[in-house]
Structure 1
Amino acid sequence: MNAILVGPDRGLGDALAEHGVSVERIDLGSATELEDAGVADTDLLVLTDVGESTAVSVALELNDRLKTVVYSPDTIPEFVRGQLDLALDTELLDADLVAEELTGVEA
């Protein structure tokens, strides 16, 4: 499984890697950065900075097979909610549990 993580890690990038996921980390969710990160061949887009919410729309235009997840303590903008497969609060679920659920692999 391949994933692109947009924003601060919040521990999830390392947890996904421990579950066998190849993780590409980027700070901004622009089309150029997503393409450079390999979005066309990626299975999972994880957004940890809701300020980069447009990355979800952009990524789905480039790869409509993506599973889209927000992992953040912040409120998700309304315009992106319908495009998400999953929205998780960092205050409620720790990164290891989220990685386990996303991959189906126990650590």
Structure 2
Amino acid sequence: MGKYANHEEFGINAPINYREDSTSESFLKGMSSIAPPGMKPRQSRGNKFEEKTDFKASARWHKNFDMAMFGGSDIGTTDFESRQMSLEKKVNGVKRIPGRQ
């Protein structure tokens, strides 16, 4: 069975987890694992990565996922950021499933 029971649970939890899990540490760890021997990624790139994975990026990611997987987005195409915000406000009625641990 999947991590989320339904699409509403996915729409509330996954974008939040995307933001929380997209840290400079996770970026640097991933890049270090594929870097050539003796080289390591710059801290500034990790910081820039974290800055670009904010709310707007997570809302855009959710919209694009919906388009790719379901052929249309349940959060719309023009005001998807405000629709994502209203979806996340429902989190009290939906089980919060944290991301990586």
For the aligned pair, the TM-score class normalised by the smaller chain equals under 0.3
Larger relative contact order (Cα-Cα within 8 Å, sequence gap ≥ 6): 2
Higher helix share: 2
Q: With structure 2 as the length reference, what TM-score do the two structures score?
A: 0.27
Q: With structure 1 as the length reference, what TM-score do the two structures score?
A: 0.26
* Larger Rg over CA atoms: 2
